[in-house]
Structure 1
Amino acid sequence: MNKKILASLLALPLVAPAAFAQETSGFPAVKISGFGTGALTWTNEDRAEFARPNQVSGAADNVRTGVDSNLGLQADMPVNSWLSFTGQVLVRKDAEEHYGAELGWAFAKARINDNLSVRVGRVGLPVFMISDYRNVGYANTMLRPPAEIYSQVPFNSIDGADITWQNSFGDTTLTSQLAYGGVKSPLSGDIHAKGKQIAALNVSAEHGPFILRAGHAQAKITVEDSTSLNTLVGGLRAAGAGYGFTQLVTLANEIEAKEKKATFSSLGLAMDWNNIVLQTEYAKRKTKAYINDTTSWYVMGGYRFGKFLPYYSHANLKIDSAVVNTVPAACPAGYPAACTPTMQALGAGVRRLPNTGVGQGEQTTDSIGIRWDFASSVALKAQIDRVKPKNGNGLFVNAKPGFTGPVTVGAVALDFVF
Structure 2
Amino acid sequence: MLFRRIAAFALPMLLLSPAMAAIELTDNINLSGFGSTAISKTDNRTPLFISREITDEACYDCDTAFGLQLDVDIFDGFAASGQVVKRTQDKWSDPELEWAYLSYEYNEFEIRAGRLRLPLFLASEYYYVGQAYPWARPPQEVYDSILGFTSYDGLSLAWNYELTDGLQLTVSPYYGFERLNEVDLGNLKLEFDTEYMAGMYVDLVGFNYRVHSGYMQVKYTQRPFPITEKLDIYTLGAEYSFESWLWMAEVEVDRIQANWYASMIYAFDDFSPYLTYAESHQSRKSKGVTAGVRYDATSTISLNLEYQMIFSSEEGNRGQFITSPLEYSESSDVDLVTLSINFVF
Report if TM-score (shorter chain) is over 0.5.
yes
Q: How far apart are residue 401 of structure 1 and its match?
A: 4.0
Residue identity matched to 2:212 = R
Where 1:77 maps in the other structure, the secondary structure is: strand
Where 1:61 maps in the other structure, the secondary structure is: coil
Give, in whole Å, the separation in 1 of the partners of 2:265 and 2:291: 10
Residue identity matched to 1:86 = S
Contact 2:257 2:284 (C-alpha < 8 Å) held by counterparts: no
Give, in whole Å, the separation in 2 of the partners of 1:275 and 1:196: 46
1:375 aligns with 2:338: no
Structure 1 equivalent of residue 6 of structure 2? none
Structure holding more helix per residue: 1
Q: Deviations over 1:172-202 (max 9, x none)?
A: 1111111101332211154212322211211
Where 1:120 maps in the other structure, the secondary structure is: strand
Structure 2 equivalent of residue 150 of structure 1? 143
Q: Please give the residue correspondences for 1:96-245 in structure 2 after superposition, counting only pairs within 5 Å.
A: 100-113=94-107, 115-154=108-147, 155-170=149-164, 171-182=166-177, 183-188=179-184, 189-224=188-223, 226=224, 229=225
Q: How far apart are residue 405 of structure 1 and its match?
A: 2.9
Give, in whole Å, the separation in 2 of the partners of 1:43 and 1:100: 27
Where 2:212 maps in the other structure, the secondary structure is: strand
Q: Please give the residue correspondences for 1:16-27 in structure 2 after superposition, counting only pairs within 5 Å.
A: 21-22=25-26
Residue identity matched to 1:374 = A
1:66 aligns with 2:70: no
Give, in whole Å, the separation in 1 of the partners of 2:276 and 2:145: 18
1:257 aligns with 2:184: no
Residue identity matched to 1:72 = G
Residue identity matched to 1:317 = S
Residue identity matched to 2:304 = K
Give, in whole Å, the separation in 2 of the partners of 1:208 and 1:193: 40
Structure 1 equivalent of residue 34 of structure 2? 35
Residue identity matched to 2:342 = D
Contact 2:234 2:253 (C-alpha < 8 Å) held by counterparts: yes
Q: Which moved more, 1:147-156 or 1:132-141?
A: 147-156
Contact 1:88 1:103 (C-alpha < 8 Å) held by counterparts: yes
Q: How far apart are residue 98 of structure 1 and its match?
A: 7.4
Give, in whole Å, the separation in 2 of the partners of 1:184 and 1:30: 32
In structure 2, stretches of 5+ residues that fail to align are: 1-21
Q: Of residues 92, 103, 109 in structure 1, which corresponds to 2:87?
A: 92
Q: How far apart are residue 257 of structure 1 and its match?
A: 1.7
How many pairs does the alignment contain?
Answer: 314
Q: Deviations over 1:291-322 (max 9, x none)?
A: xx111100000111111100000010000xxx
In structure 2, do the counterparts of structure 1 residues 305 and 407 end up closer, same or farther at CA, with 3 Å as the change threshold?
same
In structure 2, do the counterparts of structure 1 residues 163 and 383 end up closer, same or farther at CA, with 3 Å as the change threshold?
same
Q: Which moved more, 1:170-179 or 1:308-317?
A: 170-179
In structure 2, do the counterparts of structure 1 residues 375 and 401 end up closer, same or farther at CA, with 3 Å as the change threshold?
closer
Q: Of residues 366, 386, 402 in structure 1, which corresponds to 2:329?
A: 402
In structure 2, do the counterparts of structure 1 residues 389 and 67 end up closer, same or farther at CA, with 3 Å as the change threshold?
farther
Higher relative CO (CA 8 A, sep ≥ 6), structure 1 or 2? 2
1:79 aligns with 2:74: yes
Give, in whole Å, the separation in 1 of the partners of 2:92 and 2:32: 25
Give, in whole Å, the separation in 1 of the partners of 2:271 and 2:257: 35
Contact 1:31 1:77 (C-alpha < 8 Å) held by counterparts: yes
Q: How far apart are residue 97 of structure 1 and its match?
A: 7.4
Give, in whole Å, the separation in 2 of the partners of 1:407 and 1:69: 21
Q: How far apart are residue 100 of structure 1 and its match?
A: 3.1
Q: Which moved more, 1:130-139 or 1:386-395?
A: 386-395
In structure 1, stretches of 5+ residues that fail to align are: 1-16, 24-28, 230-255, 287-292, 320-359
Residue identity matched to 1:187 = V
Q: How far apart are residue 66 of structure 1 and its match?
A: 2.5
Residue identity matched to 1:379 = S
Q: Deviations over 1:14-70 (max 9, x none)?
A: xxx98x8137xxxxx421101100211111122x1223x3x2x62211111222110
What TM-score comes out, normalization by structure 1 length?
A: 0.72
Where 2:131 maps in the other structure, the secondary structure is: helix
In structure 2, do the counterparts of structure 1 residues 296 and 73 end up closer, same or farther at CA, with 3 Å as the change threshold?
same
Structure holding more strand per residue: 2
Residue identity matched to 1:314 = Y
Residue identity matched to 1:274 = E
Q: How far apart are residue 365 of structure 1 and its match?
A: 1.1
Give, in whole Å, the separation in 1 of the partners of 2:274 and 2:198: 34
1:284 aligns with 2:265: no
In structure 2, do the counterparts of structure 1 residues 265 and 107 end up closer, same or farther at CA, with 3 Å as the change threshold?
same
1:50 aligns with 2:48: yes
Give, in whole Å, the separation in 2 of the partners of 1:61 and 1:261: 37
Residue identity matched to 2:257 = T
Give, in whole Å, the separation in 2 of the partners of 1:220 and 1:134: 24
Structure 2 equivalent of residue 247 of structure 1? none
Flag the structure with larger Rg. 1
Contact 2:141 2:278 (C-alpha < 8 Å) held by counterparts: yes
